[in-house]
Amino acid sequence: MGERGQRIGIMGGTFDPIHNGHLVAASEVADRFGLDEVVFVPTGQPWQKGRQAVTPAEDRYLMTVIATASNPRFTVSRVDIDRPGPTYTVDTLRDLRGLYGPGAELFFITGADAVEKMLSWKDAERMFELARFVGVTRPGFELSSAHLPEDAVSLVEIPAMAISSTACRARVVAGKPVWYLVPDGVVQYIAKRGLYAG
CB of 28 to ligand ATP, least distance (A): 9
Interface ranges with ligand ATP (CB under 6 A): 13-16, 21-22, 25, 110-111, 113-114, 136, 138, 161, 163-166
CB of 43 to ligand ATP, least distance (A): 8
Q: List, as one string, the DSSP characters of 69-128.
A: TT-TTEEE--HHHHSSSB--HHHHHHHHHHHH-TTPEEEEEEEHHHHTTGGGSTTHHHHH
Please give the residue whose beta carbon sits closest to ligand ATP in the complex.
111
Q: Which residues contact 59 (CB under 8 A, 6 or more apart)?
A: 189, 193, 195
Nearer to ligand ATP, 4 or 133 (CB): 133
Nearer to ligand ATP, 56 or 101 (CB): 56
CB of 31 to ligand ATP, least distance (A): 15
Nearer to ligand ATP, 37 or 42 (CB): 42
CB of 5 to ligand ATP, least distance (A): 26
Nearer to ligand ATP, 6 or 164 (CB): 164
CB of 140 to ligand ATP, least distance (A): 9
- For residues 34 and 42, give the distance between their C-alpha atoms in angstroms, rounded to a whole number: 23
Q: How many CA atoms lie within 13 A of 117 on its CB side?
A: 12
- For residues 149 and 133, give the distance between their C-alpha atoms in angstroms, rounded to a whole number: 10
Contact 157, 135 (CB under 8 A): no
Q: Which residues contact 4 (CB under 8 A, 6 or more apart)?
A: 101, 103, 104
Nearer to ligand ATP, 30 or 114 (CB): 114
